[in-house]
Amino acid sequence: MVILGSSLTVIAIISIVTFLLIREHANAQQAATRSATTIAQLIDADVLRTVELYDLTLQGLIAASQRDDLKQVSPQIRHLVLFDRSTTARFKADIRLLDKHGEVLADSSLIEPKAGNFADRDYFLAHADNRDSDMFISQPFKPRCDCNDNEEWQISFSRRISSATGEFLGVAVASMRLSYFDQLFNSLNMSPGSALSIINDDGILLAQKPHLINDSVGKSFASRPNVQRILRERSGSFDSVSSIDHHQRLYTFSRVGNLPLTVIVALSGNEVFAAWKRTALVISGATGVLCIGLLWLTWLLCRELRLRHTAEQELAQLAATDALTGVANRRMLDQTLRHEWFRAQRSGKPLSVLMIDADHFKAFNDQHGHPAGDDALRALAKVITDNVRRPADLVARYGGEEFSVVLAETDSAGAQQIAEHIRLAVEQLPCVTGVESPITVSIGISTWSTTMDTSLEQLLFAADKALYQAKESGRNRVVAA
């Protein structure tokens, strides 16, 4: 019970600590998710404002291009009117007005536009094939070689120019340098090991801080499991291992309004759970020491209880055993005889008692000395025990050279048979060293049955009386009362 109680206590302690640590882990993850969501919302808001400025620029360019009076003004004024709103756009590159063949009609960087054809660009093809007038965001690209910033990635925002009847007239396009995202990410304080990214709906990376792969901008990551999940779920949070650097990260992502852009905040798992790991280590260590200490104290207590129980059993055995012969003593005889008496009264089965006395033992003891007498008594006790084989029967030293045997569920005939075996076995004992004559015993028997109206004391008295009858009749014999 002590071991079971201690084990249940240890299990309860470990279960409670485990539950608390799991809850704290979830709280740390929720706090990190809230922080990452806030960062994503800040990025979303800034990107939406910037895209709105570019959209206003495109709408102003389209509206100005459809004014007939601009054809009569000077190129300088026409240029100023067309690109009046473009000054508010941040990180802008080239803003162009293209005709339905992709030829440049106006360029924000030149009053007299340089000849060029952009009919092969994805945004031009998308507007030419689609009558929808919504804004289109292109794939990342690098300007053509004759541009100034020929090494910087850009994306373009564009709108279709249609006639009143819906006929395709051209495209208004404004390009933005992707360094805008770098500047935006640099304004946010991120923990080491974390990363910020923006991808489009095709899984192409537009920006990342820090760059986990060199020259990763413009590359598609749509085949990566984490990116696939992000594009599928559009917004949310999950814990996973990066397929790039194989670090554990907490991914929080959200779509930027209705734009085909997704912001990804990937927090380092080591940073998110660093405090929790330290707490878990301390609590786990303390809990382990407590549980080990509790089990160790339980083991000590159980050992002491076992030692005490063993000592009590030894004391009980010593209290119930005759020190010289090793059989039960008079106290044990009285207890067993009373127990068997009441059991016989309940069951109605017979109960027999043998009283055994060594013949002429006083003279034997006086002649050969006490050591020889003690050896004879031990040999006599062994012979009696060997002939009383049932576990329920009891052999006891009644006193001096006298022994008593309690035979439960044994009638008079059975008791006489056992007594005769004992007498013969004692008679056949080898002589004690220095003693020529053999040892003999006289045995008295009394049996109780349901036909008799006697008490326990009368049963013992009858056995004792039968013993004296055996002695008076010449000894070395068995007499039944």
Mind listing the pLDDT tens digit for each residue in 275-323?
899 999 999 999 999 999 999 999 999 999 899 988 888 787 777 788 8
Q: Exposed, middle or buried by CB within 10 Å (0-12, 13-18, 19+), for 178?
A: buried
Residues in CB range of 331: below 8 A, 6 or more apart: 319, 320
Q: What is the pLDDT of residue 185?
A: 87
DSSP letter assigned to residue 166: -
Span 69-83, average pLDDT:
77
HSE value, Cβ hemisphere, 13 Å, CA-based, for 189: 1
Span 126-130, average pLDDT:
87
Question: Is the predicted pLDDT of residue 215 greater than 90, yes or no?
Answer: no
Place 103 in a pLDDT band, splitting at 50, 70 and 90. very high
Q: What is the pLDDT of residue 189?
A: 81
Residues in CB range of 438: below 8 A, 6 or more apart: 427, 428, 429, 431
**Longest CA pairwise span in the chain (Å):** 165
Which amino acid, residue 50?
T
Could you tell me the end-to-end alpha-carbon distance of the chain, in angstroms, rounded to an integer?
52
DSSP output for 249-262 = EEEEEEE-TTSSEE
Place 452 in a pLDDT band, splitting at 50, 70 and 90. confident
Place 437 in a pLDDT band, splitting at 50, 70 and 90. low
Question: Is the predicted pLDDT of residue 176 greater than 60, yes or no?
Answer: yes
Span 31-46, average pLDDT:
91
Give the chain's mean pLDDT: 87
Q: What is the pLDDT of residue 472?
A: 92
Question: Is the predicted pLDDT of residue 466 greater than 80, yes or no?
Answer: yes
- In this prediction the pTM is 0.61
Q: How long is the chain?
A: 481
Please answer whether residues 196 and 209 qualify as being in contact, where contact means their C-beta atoms are separated by less than 8 angstroms.
yes
